[in-house]
Amino acid sequence: MSSSLDPNHKGRVSLTPIVSEEVGEVAEMASVIWPAAYGSILQPEQIDYMLGRMYGREQLHNDLVKGVCMWWICLDGERVGFLAVGPIDVRGECPLHKFYLLPAVQGKGCGSQAFARLVEILSDEGTRRIELRVNRHNGAAIGFYRKNGFSIDGEDCLDIGDGFVMDDFLMGRDLPS
């Protein structure tokens, strides 16, 4: 039987809510994914700085308390990534904050399956539009979002402190009402 981490494996993707006790495991997975995803785009110092800022236990707990929803992305029941969205605002706009898969499962449809499930969940919750920021040099993710119905609406270079910036495209996609 092939494992979900086998590069040729195609399986069933599901989303499972991430609970407060699991935020340390989210940080651990991010520390595997981020250097692979951003190693050619960002300096190692910036990767460490952003991981520390965005994936500290307290920060992730606060995100959950503020109404951010997080899910494990599971392939045949095995955790292979995670997603974070929300909260949905009064206009029905929902920010997508985090969308990450382990390197071994990238590029074989898992992200698109997870995104389709996310759209179902968010539509049921009354979301009319999903918005996100993506590093302007992250061509693979930009290609992925385009393929999944997003377009580039703008750009923003955000000062995040310690001499670092997030130089991003702003992308959005309307959901059918």
Ligand X SMILES: CC(C)(COP(=O)(O)OP(=O)(O)OC[C@H]1O[C@@H](n2cnc3c(N)ncnc32)[C@H](O)[C@@H]1OP(=O)(O)O)[C@@H](O)C(=O)NCCC(=O)NCCS
Residue with tokens 């693979």: 140
Any contact of residue 169 with ligand X (CB under 6 A)?
Answer: no
Residue with smaller CB distance to ligand X, 77 or 126: 77
Give yes or no for residue 7 binding ligand X (CB under 6 A): no
- Considering the rule CB under 6 A, would residue 111 count as an interface residue with ligand X? yes
144 lies in the binding site for ligand X (CB under 6 A) = yes
We find the least distance from the C-beta atom of residue 111 to ligand X, in angstroms, to be 2
Selection from 22, 54, 59, 24 nearest residue 38 by Cα: 54
- Residue (of 124, 120, 80, 123) closest to 100 by Cα position: 80
User: Is 143 an interacting residue with respect to ligand X (CB under 6 A)?
Assistant: yes
Output 140 or 160, the one with its CB closest to ligand X: 140
Please say whether the beta carbons of 112 and 148 come within 8 A.
yes
Task: Find tokens 């920010």 and name the residue.
Answer: 95
* Binding-site string for ligand X from residue 8 to residue 47, where x marks contact by CB under 6 A and - marks none: -------------------------x---x----------
Q: Of these, 12, 53, 61, 147, which contacts ligand X (CB under 6 A)?
A: 147
Per-residue CA distances from 136 to 41, 42, 93, 118, 150 (Å): 9, 11, 22, 23, 14
Stretch of 46-54, 86-94, 117-125, 140-148 contacting ligand X, by CB under 6 A? 140-148
Non-local CB neighbours of 176 within 8 Å, separated by 6+ positions: 123
Asked if 136 interacts with ligand X (CB under 6 A), we say no
What backbone torsions phi and psi does residue 36 show, to the nearest 5 degrees? -70, -40
β-pairing, 93-101 with 129-135?
Answer: parallel
Q: How far is the CB of 176 from ligand X (least distance, A)?
A: 20
* Residues making contact with ligand X (CB under 6 A): 33, 37, 99-101, 106-112, 134, 138-141, 143-144, 147
